[in-house]
C-alpha cells in the first residue's frame, strides 16, 4: 500500500511540471511588468518632452502677400500719343446758286449721298421764261444780221463799180460786225438762262453724310443766304489731327524720310477701345510756340464709320519697334537714391532687390535694358512692405494664392 501512494505522488508531480506550473506563470507576469515600465519610461522621458517642445515652439511668421509677374521677352512697340480731333477731308455747305422757291428736298437727314445725287429743286419756271425771251431776241437779231450781210454784198458790188462812196460800204460792213456781236450776246443770254435752269437742280458736290435740313420746302431761297440748305461731310476717308511734343518731331521726320507709312491708331478717351487704324499723312509746317507742339494729320479709311467729325480721340503713332526686349509691368518699378530697381522673387520665396536700367514705358509696360532676364519673377503689388530677404507669399490678381513652379 505504501509503495503505490509514492508512485502516485511522483506521477502527479511530473504532470504539474510538464503543464507549466506556478513558476512559469511568474516569469510571464515579470516580463509584462518590465515591458510596462519601459513604455512608461519612454513616454515620460522621450515622447512627452518632444510634444511639449513642439507646443512651446513659436510659429514661423507668415510671408508678405505680394502679386508677381514674370519678365517677358517680346517685340516692344514705341508709340507717341496725343489727344486729337476727327476732321473731315471735305465739308460742304450746300447753297442755292439762284433765287427762287424751294420746291423739293430729296434727301433724308443723316443719309449717305454720292457726288452728283439730286438733293433739292428750285422752281424753274422764271428761268424757263428768261430762256424763251433770250431765244426770241436771238432769232430777231440773227434775221437782222442776215439782212445786213446781204446789203453788204450789194454794197460791195456797187463800190467795185464805183456806184457808191467807200464810206457807205464801210458803214454797212461795220453794221454787220455790230449785229454779229449782238447775236453773240444773245447766245450768252440763252446760255445763262440754261445755266440757271441747271442750278435749279441742286446736286451733291461730294460723297458724304447729309446733316440736318436747314430750310424747308416752300421757302424762298437766295444765292446770298449764308446758312445754306444742308451741310454734307465726307466720312470716307477721314482724318485725325493731333499734336505731339516738339522733342519727338525729329524721330518722326526721320521715319518719314525713309518713305514708310507710319501706322496710327485711334482710341477712345479712356484708351480702352481701339476705334480705327490708319496711317500718318503729313506734318504741319510750324511748331506752336505757345504749347511747344507740332500738329500731325493721319488718315483713316473709316469704312465702318467708326470715327465721326469733331470727335475727340487718343491718337497713337508707332515710331519704332524694339525687337526682343525684356518687358515687365510698369507698376513693378521702384525708385530709390541709387536709381530704379525691382523686387525679384527667388526660388526660396524670398524677395531680393535687383537694380536695373529702364528703357521706354508704354501702355503700362516698361522695357528693361539691363538687370533682368526672361522669366524673372518681379513683384508688381505689395512691394512697399518688402526689404532685402523678406519672405513672400505669392498671390493672384484676384486675391487667391498663386501656385508657382520653379
The residue-averaged pLDDT of 370-392 equals: 89
Q: Are strands 64-70 and 392-395 parallel, antiparallel or unpaired?
A: parallel
pLDDT tens column, 277-292: 999 999 999 999 999 9
Measure the CA–CA gap between 328 and 340, rounded to whole angstroms.
13
What's the 3-state SS for 152-194? HHHHHHHHHCCCCCHHHHHHHHHHHHHHHHHHHHHHHHHHHHH
DSSP assignment string, 17-80: HHT--HHHHHHHHHHHHHHHHHHHHHIIIIIHHHHHHHHHSPPPPPPEEEEEEE-EEEEEEEEE
DSSP state of 3: H
Q: In the structure, what pLDDT confidence band is assigned to residue 56 with cuts at 50, 70 and 90?
A: low
Q: What percent of the chain has pLDDT over 90?
A: 56
Measure the CA–CA gap between 380 and 71, rounded to whole angstroms.
11
Q: Is the dihedral of CA 10, 16, 19, 25 positive or negative?
A: negative
Measure the CA–CA gap between 144 and 183, rounded to whole angstroms.
10
- Contact assessment for residue 81 and residue 386, using Cβ atoms and an 8 Å cutoff: no
Q: What is the largest CA-CA distance in the chain?
A: 221
Q: In the structure, what pLDDT confidence band is assigned to residue 6 with cuts at 50, 70 and 90?
A: very low
- Contact assessment for residue 387 and residue 84, using Cβ atoms and an 8 Å cutoff: no
Q: Is the pLDDT of residue 59 over 70?
A: no
Q: Report all structural domains of the chain as residue ranges with CATH numbers, in order of start.
A: 66-76+323-395 (2.40.420.20), 78-89+234-321 (2.40.30.170), 94-232 (2.40.50.100)
Q: Which of 401, 390, 394, 360 is nearest to 377 (CA)?
A: 394
> Directed axis angle between helix 125-160 and helix 166-199, to 10°?
160
Q: In the structure, what pLDDT confidence band is assigned to residue 386 with cuts at 50, 70 and 90?
A: confident
Residue with cell 519678365: 71
Residue 389 phi, psi (nearest 5): 85, 5
Q: In the structure, what pLDDT confidence band is assigned to residue 64 with cuts at 50, 70 and 90?
A: confident
Residue 104 phi, psi (nearest 5): -140, 145
In this prediction, residue 19 carries a pLDDT of: 47
The residue-averaged pLDDT of 110-130 equals: 94
What average pLDDT does the structure give for the chain?
85
Name the β-bridge partners of 81: 316
In this prediction, residue 269 carries a pLDDT of: 87
Q: In the structure, what pLDDT confidence band is assigned to residue 28 with cuts at 50, 70 and 90?
A: confident
Measure the CA–CA gap between 128 and 402, rounded to whole angstroms.
86
Q: In the structure, what pLDDT confidence band is assigned to residue 294 with cuts at 50, 70 and 90?
A: very high
Q: Euclidean distance between the first and final Cα of the chain, in Å? A: 98
pLDDT tens column, 301-312: 999 989 999 999
pLDDT tens column, 227-239: 899 999 999 999 9
Name the β-bridge partners of 283: 296
pLDDT tens column, 11-25: 444 444 444 555 666
Amino acid at each position: 500500500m505504501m509503495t503505490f501512494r509514492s508512485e502516485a505522488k511522483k506521477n502527479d508531480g511530473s504532470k504539474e511540471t510538464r503543464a507549466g506550473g506556478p513558476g512559469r506563470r511568474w516569469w510571464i507576469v515579470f516580463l509584462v511588468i518590465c515591458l510596462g515600465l519601459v513604455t512608461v519610461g519612454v513616454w515620460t522621458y522621450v515622447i512627452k518632452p518632444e510634444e511639449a517642445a513642439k507646443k512651446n515652439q513659436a510659429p514661423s511668421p507668415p510671408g508678405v502677400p505680394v502679386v508677381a509677374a514674370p519678365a517677358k521677352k517680346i517685340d516692344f512697340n514705341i508709340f507717341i500719343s496725343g489727344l486729337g480731333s476727327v476732321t473731315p477731308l471735305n465739308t460742304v455747305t450746300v447753297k442755292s446758286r439762284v433765287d427762287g422757291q424751294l420746291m423739293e428736298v430729296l434727301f433724308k437727314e443723316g443719309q449717305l449721298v454720292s457726288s452728283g445725287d439730286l438733293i433739292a429743286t428750285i422752281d424753274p419756271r422764271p428761268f424757263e421764261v428768261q430762256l424763251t425771251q433770250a431765244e426770241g431776241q436771238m432769232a430777231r437779231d440773227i434775221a437782222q444780221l442776215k439782212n445786213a450781210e446781204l446789203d453788204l454784198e450789194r454794197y460791195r458790188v456797187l463800190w467795185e463799180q464805183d456806184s457808191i462812196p467807200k464810206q457807205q460800204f464801210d458803214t454797212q460792213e461795220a453794221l454787220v460786225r455790230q449785229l454779229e456781236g449782238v447775236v453773240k450776246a444773245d447766245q450768252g443770254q440763252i446760255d445763262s438762262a440754261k445755266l440757271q435752269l441747271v442750278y435749279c437742280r441742286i446736286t451733291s458736290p461730294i460723297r458724304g453724310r447729309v446733316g440736318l435740313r436747314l430750310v424747308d420746302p416752300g421757302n424762298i431761297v437766295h444765292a446770298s443766304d449764308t446758312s445754306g440748305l444742308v451741310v454734307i461731310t465726307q466720312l470716307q476717308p477721314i482724318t485725325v489731327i493731333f499734336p505731339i511734343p516738339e522733342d519727338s518731331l525729329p524721330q518722326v521726320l526721320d521715319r518719314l524720310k525713309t518713305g514708310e507709312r507710319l501706322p496710327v491708331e485711334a482710341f477712345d478717351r479712356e484708351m480702352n477701345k481701339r476705334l480705327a487704324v490708319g496711317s500718318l499723312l503729313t506734318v504741319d509746317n510750324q511748331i506752336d510756340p505757345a504749347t511747344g507742339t507740332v500738329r500731325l494729320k493721319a488718315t483713316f479709311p473709316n469704312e465702318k464709320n467708326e470715327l465721326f467729325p469733331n470727335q475727340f480721340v487718343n491718337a497713337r503713332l508707332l515710331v519704332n519697334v524694339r525687337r526682343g526686349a525684356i518687358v515687365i509691368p510698369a507698376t513693378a518699378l521702384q525708385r530709390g537714391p541709387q536709381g530704379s530697381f525691382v523686387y525679384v522673387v527667388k526660388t526660396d520665396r524670398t524677395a531680393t532687390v535687383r537694380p536695373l536700367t529702364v528703357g521706354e514705358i508704354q501702355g503700362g509696360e516698361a522695357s528693361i535694358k539691363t538687370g533682368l532676364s526672361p522669366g524673372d519673377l518681379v513683384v508688381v503689388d505689395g512691394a512697399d512692405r518688402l526689404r532685402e530677404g523678406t519672405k513672400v507669399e505669392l498671390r493672384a490678381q484676384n486675391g487667391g494664392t498663386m501656385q508657382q513652379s520653379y
